[in-house]
Structure 1
């Protein structure tokens, strides 16, 4: 049976937070399996509209997404998304509560959890949403062995770890003293045309398709 334009657009649609997150007084956290499904289909799967081979090591990664009601401020910055490895460095009861919460949400404790600010995701545009999701995915890296090659576990799957940002520097330092090697790589990347055209983002997120259908 041939799919209608509406059903095809719905499959591609960018995942949106539940409408209750539009309430500024909301303080609930909710699992976001729809974000994981979308990210696997459009970003992680070869042939996806936003496929990025940089994330090839995440094909079988145990990662889950969570909606948070709001962002928060940290070190003078507003945090809209956060990726963390699920390790519980606390007492037995605290650990038990946290493990139970993860199991209630996701069926088991995931290796990695990506939390997104639902209030931001309700209002940001498609490109901003895609960039936020990919930013958090980039925090999950493949470990390197003693020879600097990608490391694998005994099952042949990539060993994963957390990594920091590629570039961390103050604008004032660059303005006054010039760009370091890492900063220069970022500058060079910014000068090139984006690999993902806006039309591809629209197709992956489905907003334009839903309006046109």
Structure 2
């Protein structure tokens, strides 16, 4: 049974970045094993305060977290978190250096790395922090086989890959945390979906060449 997200967020002590990240001159990137420990206990393990079975495929996944000193701007939006598959598409020495750095940070090279804006995480609410972490975890999805069923490796582990949003946001995140800021694009999308369509569906179909081809 899923617990209420607000009460769970308030009773689960979330990990906090070091206060040094409040200094705008700090530019260090620091491993955050405490975030992984918290996420495993709170979100990824059955019985956790915010357990979500949508992440069941991540049970054996080697994920690591890292604090970044600040976010960055991409396509006009400030990025507060990022999930990436750890790959090294470079020459042998560059690859060796990067693998060594990962091993020095985490003890081994992880499969996936989630980086969080520490300056944001110092000041955001518990619910905002939980939503950010879950959003990034949602990016690690399980692949599907040719029949549309969850795919597995030859060793029986879930076959994972980076996935994009369902629409503007993951459906699972909206279900648990809402649509976010009322002036955001997702809130506008939901509001539009809840309103009576301004143009009837039949009129759209008549104006769409693809629809006309399918109806022929």
Q: Please give the range of the TM-score, normalised by the shorter of the 2 chains.
A: 0.7 to 0.9
Matches within 5 A, 1:125-144: 125-144=125-144
Normalization by structure 2: what TM-score?
0.73
Matches within 5 A, 1:119-130: 119-130=119-130
CA offsets 1:35-92 (integer angstroms, 9 cap, x no match) = 0000000000001000001001011111000000000000100000000000111222
Q: Which residue of 1 aligns with 2:28?
A: 28
8 Å contact from structure 2 (residues 12, 49) kept in 1: no
Unmatched segments (≥5 aa) in structure 1: 1-10, 180-213
Q: Which residue of 1 aligns with 2:199?
A: none
The CA distance in 1 between the partners of 2:67 and 2:47, in whole Å, is: 27
Secondary structure of residue in 1 paired with 2:122: helix
The size of the alignment, in residue pairs, is 166
The CA distance in 2 between the partners of 1:42 and 1:168, in whole Å, is: 25
The CA distance in 1 between the partners of 2:107 and 2:129, in whole Å, is: 26
The CA distance in 2 between the partners of 1:27 and 1:140, in whole Å, is: 27
The CA distance in 2 between the partners of 1:129 and 1:44, in whole Å, is: 15
Instruction: After TM superposition, give the deviation of residue 93 of structure 1 in Å.
Output: 2.1
Q: Which residue of 2 aligns with 1:64?
A: 64
Q: Which residue of 1 aligns with 2:180?
A: none
Normalization by structure 1: what TM-score?
0.74
The CA distance in 1 between the partners of 2:62 and 2:14, in whole Å, is: 21
Unmatched segments (≥5 aa) in structure 2: 1-10, 170-183, 194-216
Instruction: After TM superposition, give the deviation of residue 17 of structure 1 in Å.
Output: 0.3
The CA distance in 1 between the partners of 2:96 and 2:19, in whole Å, is: 31
Q: Which residue of 1 aligns with 2:204?
A: none
Secondary structure of residue in 1 paired with 2:133: helix
Q: Which residue of 2 aligns with 1:83?
A: 83
CA RMSD, 1 decimal: 2.1
Instruction: After TM superposition, give the deviation of residue 136 of structure 1 in Å.
Output: 0.0
CA offsets 1:66-124 (integer angstroms, 9 cap, x no match) = 00000000010000000000011122222121111101000111000000000000000
Q: Rg bigger for which structure?
A: 2
